A and B are shown apart, each in its own frame.
Chain A
Amino acid sequence: MNAVTPALPAPIGLLAELTHRCPLRCPYCSNPLELDRRSAELDTATWQRVLTEAAGLGVLHVHLSGGEPTARQDIVDITRTCAELGLYSNLITSGVAGALDKLDALYEVGLDHVQLSVQAVEAANAERIGGLKNAQPQKFAFAERVTALGLPLTLNAVIHRGNIAEVPALIDLAVRLGAKRLEVAHTQYYGWAYVNRAALMPAKADVDRSIRTVEEARERLKGQLVIDLVVPDYYAKYPKACAGGWGRRLMNVTPTGKVLPCHAAETIPGLDFWYVQDRSLSEIWAESPAFRAYRGTEWMQEPCRSCDRREKDWGGCRCQALALAGDAKATDPACSLSPLHGKVQALAIAESALETAPDYQYRTIGGAPRVALPEGAPA
């Protein structure tokens, strides 16, 4: 059975979370609080089969991610398979530890693009955020090699209270390192970032300033640097179409083979996720109960259900609706049409006004915080 019909378009992107292992410990990591261990990771042959099925299904872009994807010994083989299948391969990396050692081989087998994370420009601040000493010089050396090879480089900077003052410097850094793209991505508060929200939430005035800085730089650097901006939900007017809409564009395969509509989907209780070990990707895309749960608009409640934006933002993010409204079918409280929007904004303003930000709860395998979630989810 061909899963791709006019009613069900094929996915465009596959987020391949090859491993949860990572030398960095960023407190806003998008990985789940319960991280998968190495012993449970999919083997090379299974990943290669998944990629083959993805190409057949219509996936065009593969995001090789983690954790740190170069922590996998077989990252070069996996990348080669992408190239053989015509899949566009995007390495999402921290650039530290063994990443540089594998870069030339990745280039040789046909890697298409590198997205390198930067935590901040100022080294001490960057290494405090990432929780790893001596990371910054490794990242810069890695970036240098990427551009020397002629590979396109994107810098990704997750923005929060601890580095928002560095946005102008991050733009300069991107130019200096020869990046073609910069992602100024305000923190999205799921997973570890949700736990650390009070430590990360920036003040509204700083957010507004950062947006103006980006707009000014886009004009000034036209044709030299493309800047993508992800604005912070809590201060937004409308929510973002999470993952381009649930089950519409993206599949996410976890290190152990679980297939998710988005990387945070496991936070929603009661969803039945299928595994690549048990079924084909095409069957999972079409039939998996987790993918069907919030696909389209049928599941929506008011005010989403009759909203003329319902096929623009698809009700926003289900995980955020659950976290903040206690109901995954609710309108994402990031939306100004949600009855909870005022409370959520007030929460952000209160947290960002804390005189001293709380300490980070760093991401660690086996270290999921016992104090499950911060207070503040509106009742």
Chain B
Amino acid sequence: MSLTPDSVPRLPRGVRLRHDTVRNAHVLLAPERTFDLDQNAVAVLSLVDGSRSIRTIAEALGRQYEVDPGIIEPDVIVMLDGLLLKRVLETVPAA
């Protein structure tokens, strides 16, 4: 059970990306836990919307940071796989 470039990730109900104004940082709020996010994670999660595939997300990041999306894509998959395992990310079933 691992994500592929065609997977379309989304945050399930009960998981929210939030900017914490007091600490001036982005956090992922989830059941009984808070994930501190680094800049890369925020950049990825900001593009997770339940309609973009991982390939599309990597392409968008590639344009944004002027890097080859092929280099970014495996890192995106590793990061999102980690969240999937913790059950704070899900995929949209293929139509």
Contact = CB atoms under 8 A, between A and B. Distances in A.
B29 A88 contact: yes
Interface in A100-137: 112-113, 115
Interface stretch (A149-157, A204-212, A257-265, A313-321): A149-157
B34 to A, nearest CB: 6
B22 A58 contact: yes
A152 B14 contact: yes
A124 to B, nearest CB: 30
A223 B87 contact: yes
Contacts of A226: 86-87
B22 A4 contact: yes
A343 interface: no
Interface in B12-26: 12-16, 18, 20, 22-23
A152 B18 contact: no
A223 B85 contact: yes
Given A60-B34, A151-B13, A152-B12, A222 B85 contact: yes
B51 to A, nearest CB: 18
The prevalent SS among residues of B at the interface is loop
A86 B87 contact: no
Contacts, number: 60
Nearest to B81: A223
Contact of A58 (B14, B15, B20, B32): B20
Nearest to A154: B31
Nearest to B87: A180
B32 A112 contact: no
A12 B18 CA distance: 14
Contacts of A88: 16, 29
Contact of B32 (A10, A86, A228): A228
B60 interface: no
A21 interface: no
B44 interface: no
Contacts of B84: 223
A78 interface: no
A308 to B, nearest CB: 24
A183 B33 CA distance: 13
Interface in A197-223: 222-223
Nearest to B84: A223
B91 to A, nearest CB: 11
Given A10-B22, A151-B13, A151-B14, A61 B29 contact: yes
B13 A115 contact: no
A222 B86 CA distance: 8
Contacts of B32: 61, 90, 113, 115, 154, 181, 183, 228
A57 interface: yes
Nearest to B34: A60
Contacts of A86: 18
Interface in A139-160: 150-152, 154
Nearest to A59: B22
Contacts of B34: 12, 60-61
Contacts of B20: 58, 60
A88 B86 CA distance: 18
A152 B23 contact: no
B22 A57 contact: yes
Residue from A88, A115, A150, A222 having most chain B Cβ neighbours under 10 A: A88
Given A61-B34, A181-B31, A112 B86 contact: no
A3 to B, nearest CB: 10
Contact of A90 (B12, B13, B31): B31
Interface of A: 4, 10, 12, 56-58, 60-61, 86, 88, 90, 112-113, 115, 150-152, 154, 180-181, 183, 222-226, 228
Given A10-B23, A12-B34, 5 more contacts: A4-B22, A56-B22, A86-B18, A152-B87, A181-B87
17 contacts: A10-B22, A60-B18, A61-B29, A88-B29, A90-B31, A90-B32, A112-B16, A112-B31, A113-B31, A150-B12, A151-B14, A152-B87, A154-B31, A154-B32, A180-B31, A223-B87, A225-B87
3 residue pairs, one from A and one from B, having the closest CB atoms: A58-B22, A152-B14, A113-B31
Interface of B: 1, 12-16, 18, 20, 22-23, 27, 29, 31-32, 34, 84-87
